[in-house]
Amino acid sequence: MIDGTDKKILTILQDNGRITNSRLAQEIGLSPPAVLERVRRLESSGVIDKYVAVLDRKKAGFEIQTIVMVCLSHHQIQSLENVIKRLTSMEEVLECYQLTGEVDFLLKVVVKDMESYTNFVNNKLSGIPGIQNVKTSFILETKKNSTSLRFPTDK
């Protein structure tokens, strides 16, 4: 059960995962051992999944960002599992969502340049048995990019 103090801790950690335990305790208004115990409980329960560094993709040399919609030709369990395994193992695929409706998978793909994207489509995606159709939308500009979950304020 996540209480109000846990929510405050999680909100602060989402904004600054490198905050020291003593600074976090000071912002929460609890002792450092009490805050550390709460953070460890949130980690061990899986509420805190992992800590990461969020990179600026362009400064890291990844110019092309796309949304790729994948439709399958058949939905047999064995071929579906193979498609999922292949899609999720590709380094270019940052996010992979299985969907309902006309599109079976939505991928967020990031590559260095257009040549890399062409190689990705021609030599990786096209080689997966069961894929019927691939549609790509190139992201022109990112208007919002957040990894933070914001808790509703209690009223």
Question: Residue 72 — φ and ψ, nearest 5°?
Answer: -95, 155
**Is the alpha carbon torsion for 28, 33, 34, 35 positive or negative?**
positive
Q: Which two tokens stand for residue 7?
A: 């929510």
Contact between 109 and 93 under an 8 Å Cβ cutoff? The reply is yes
Which amino acid appears at position 59 of this protein?
A: K
Q: Residue 100 carries which DSSP code?
A: S
Q: What is the rounded distance in angstroms from the CA atom of residue 87 to the CA atom of residue 82?
A: 9
- Inform me whether the pLDDT recorded for 145 exceeds 70: yes
- Residue at 96 is within a domain: yes
- Residue at 79 is within a domain: yes
Domain count, the chain: 2
Contact between 107 and 95 under an 8 Å Cβ cutoff? The reply is yes
Same domain, residue pair 69 and 127: yes
- Residue at 105 is within a domain: yes
- Inform me whether the pLDDT recorded for 154 exceeds 70: no
- Residue at 152 is within a domain: no
| Full domain range(s) for residue 12 | 4-44
Rounded to a whole number, what is the largest CA-CA distance in the chain?
58
Q: What is the pTM of this model?
A: 0.87
Range of weakest confidence among 11-20, 86-95, 120-129, 146-155: 146-155
Of residues 79 and 23, more confidently modeled: 23
Same domain, residue pair 21 and 80: no
> What distances in angstroms separate CA 90 from CA 50, 62, 108, 111, 122, one per listed residue?
21, 15, 11, 11, 14
User: How far from chain centre, in Å, is Cα 118?
Assistant: 23
Same domain, residue pair 132 and 84: yes
Which amino acid appears at position 141 of this protein?
A: E
- Inform me whether the pLDDT recorded for 84 exceeds 80: yes
Same domain, residue pair 38 and 74: no
Number of other CB atoms surrounding residue 128 within 10 Å:
17
The CATH number of the domain holding residue 26 is 1.10.10.10
Same domain, residue pair 69 and 129: yes
Same domain, residue pair 83 and 19: no
pLDDT at residue 86, rounded to an integer: 96
Same domain, residue pair 70 and 11: no
